[in-house]
A and B are shown apart, each in its own frame.
Chain A
Amino acid sequence: MNGTVLQMRDVVKRFGTFEALKGVDFDLRAGEVHALLGENGAGKSTLMKILAGVQPATSGSMTVLGQEVSFGSVADAQAHGVAMVYQELALATDLSVAENLFLGQLKPFVSHRALARQAEPLLAKVDLDVPPLARLGSLAVGEQQLVEIARALGHERRILVFDEPTAALSSGETERLFELIRKLRQDGVAVVYISHRLEEVFALADRVTVLRDGEHVLTRSVADLAPEDVVRAMVGREVLRFERQPSVREGAEPFRFRYEGPGLRPGTLELLPGEIVGVAGVVGSGRNRLLSTLFGVNGAAWVDDRPVRSPAEAIRRGMFLVPEDRKLMGLVLDLSVQSNLTMAILGRLTRAGLFIDHPAESAEASRWIERLHLRPPEPRKRVGDLSGGNQQKVVVGKALATGPQVLLLDEPTRGVDVGARSEIYGVLDELAREGMGLVVASSDTDELVGLCDRVLVFRHGEVATQLSRPLDDKEVVAHVTGARQVA
């Protein structure tokens, strides 16, 4: 059973002058879940892309079942039984669910009905109940992720790589995925599991490999490790579990919101200055809808009885949204760090309302680069070239530059490494202390428990339960998944 299926030896990958992998070894046994950990930029994804045939290694060797291989393409890797589930959805949103499942293997003439029939067992495997001919784009992000997983399961697999598969999933969906992975393990599949969430790793994995700055740091059985050991290996320094003191200004005048919209029943929300309110719920519960509605993106919202009809109006009313997907909604990747940071306030940094006041703009950008510990601290760098954590800091900086009284954050630390994550938490805590009101929607229960004064649990488009301090992660999960119906 414990036969080695994969051996990677001394793998080096260079991008131009940058060495992403500096001679990494990696083994995989049949029937194990092997967690691959490291901060953003440690080389995890690079290593797995080499395994999946997305890109070739610069040097080094790779054997699958004792046979020396070198994959020239994804199809090549698939022929050897290797498949990957990507962190960023790699699907065609305008095709149907079924077409996506068989993308790359479609015959010249496609019978939709036959395709739908073939799709059903795969969808059943991931326990996803959607019509196979539904347009993929009409599904929630979490459901799309399950389609992606179903697709990877569609072939005879010896090695399956999951790159942060739970980033877009709710707690319930995550549990479902774990069951699936355990079943794969029983069937003798070797699973590589990349995640930023240690609790998932300890719940699921048999062995752990940690990379740091493109180098192999350790490989050990999970049983021989404590979470602190892993974090220390990842960052090379100690990291504390986040906890904060409440800073709610009791008795102050609250911000009063009213909202209604598609996928959201009419409701109200009162937010005190200095308060951090969490929003929990499964995908499609209204969790993320709430924030976009409050910000005037869709539906209808009022703050203190004044309407919010567009993001521009929301900004004028003192709000700002840090959106869920920084690449799709948060940043203009081709523009510089500075241009992104000042994007929402450039009108204020002009002379005669027209010409950009360049010194004022640089000063403003430097201010946020410093406050958010942006690395590298280069205002002219293209945002698309930054790591995920630093990109997220730019999105937060852009929001803060507008000087909002209310900050809405949708999944503020998705795909962000431990170091940047704790820095972002620190900044959010400071903001609350300065009297800002924050609303944080998150699928990460630890994040909500560590950060929030109050958690609203959404189900079917409305607040099902409200939980206050002291918050307990198990209780939050129980309410989110519906295990506990009424508080």
Chain B
Amino acid sequence: MLQAQGRWRELLARFGLLLALVVMVVVLASISDRFLTTSNIINVLRQISVNAILAFGMTVVIIGAGIDLSVGSLLALVGVVTALLVTNTGLPVWLVLLLAVLIGVALGAINGGIVGYAGVAPFIVTLAGLTIFRGAALVATDGRPVSGLPPVFTTIGYGTFLCIPLPIWIMLGVLLLTYVLLRHTALGRAVYAVGGNPEAARLSGIPVRNVLAFTYAFSGFTVAIAAIVLTGRLNSAQPTAGVAFELDAIAAVVVGGTSLAGGRGGVWGTLVGALIIGVINNGMNLMNVSSFYQQIVKGGVILAALLIDRALSRRSG
């Protein structure tokens, strides 16, 4: 009897989030017959794609016991630089996209380098990044959107493969990449070790500073991918894009069960977290809930998810 109770608890702790998602889907499906249609499901997945891609990178940073507040601004900066390069220079589009990724990685690495080597708190470093990158995006464009992009961008934003929109495929690609990184590489394991106990990691010969720098560089990488997808969706690059995206990304990570204290969590949880947030948004839109109320409900659901998770996974002793 007791044994069985313990097992239930464990199962709930493990799959509770998924269960919450399923319950939400069932409730919404019973309220709105438009919810559980193929087109709406694809709609939800496409809507969450940019946030999820950012959140996968954020997951790696947070497992390393860090935080990256600069992702929304960096997304705007990478977006406008990409658009400016493609419209004002003769560089081929593939090279511009490659450059976009490199810029994201490089700026992320600078964040991470300062965190790792100068030992400044990640909150502060990336908060500075948040305003610097936003400012740079505004300076580069004089505050105006950049349009007139080649058709490749609309393909990225609106094309499909096997009837599924490309943004969803890209999201799944980044998911898989992050999963392999975290679970199947020595570097990913090092991220868990550094996030869980940096001193123990250092005494085990793990290059703690480089590992920290890497996590932010990886976040920069996912930001660049998200920037390309978003630019494609909008068919233009906005210097004001991505405001407060960092908060949605952090919410997805945390709702997904990754501990802000570092060392614990994973990218599948983040996907479920992003889905939960996406389903809430979509459901409320279908029910014509005012966007003012939507914000309150969203915050409440995030809080509830965390409280339930905390109650279920509380360790004995």
Contacts and interface: CB of A to CB of B under 8 A. Distances in A.
B8 to A, nearest CB: 11
B197 interface: yes
Nearest to A312: B205
Interface centre among B5, B185, B197, by most chain A C-beta atoms within 10 angstroms, is B197
A346 interface: yes
Contact of A17 (B3, B190, B203, B207): B3
Contact of A15 (B193, B199, B203, B317): B317
Interface stretch (A81-89, A153-161, A348-356): A348-356
Contact of A311 (B5, B185, B203, B316): B203
A330 B200 contact: yes
A422 to B, nearest CB: 26
Contact of A350 (B186, B199, B201, B203): B186
A356 B316 contact: no
Given A16-B9, A331-B197, A334-B263, A346 B189 contact: yes
A344 interface: yes
Instruction: Bin chain A's interface residue count.
Output: 20 to 34
Nearest to B190: A346
Contact of A16 (B6, B204, B263): B6
A65 to B, nearest CB: 30
Contact of B263 (A332, A346, A355, A398): A332
A15 to B, nearest CB: 3
A363 B200 CA distance: 23
A297 B203 contact: yes
B206 interface: yes
Contacts of B190: 346
B185 A356 contact: yes
Given A15-B316, A16-B6, A321 B203 contact: yes
A343 B190 CA distance: 8
B187 A335 contact: no
Interface string B3-22: 10110010000000000000
A487 interface: no
B310 interface: no
A315 interface: yes
A323 interface: yes
Interface in A15-35: 15-18, 20
B184 A328 contact: no
A69 to B, nearest CB: 23
Interface in B140-179: none
A333 interface: yes
B192 interface: yes
A358 B264 CA distance: 20
Interface of A: 15-18, 20, 295, 297, 311-312, 315-316, 321, 323, 328-335, 339, 343-344, 346-347, 349-350, 354-356, 358, 398, 402
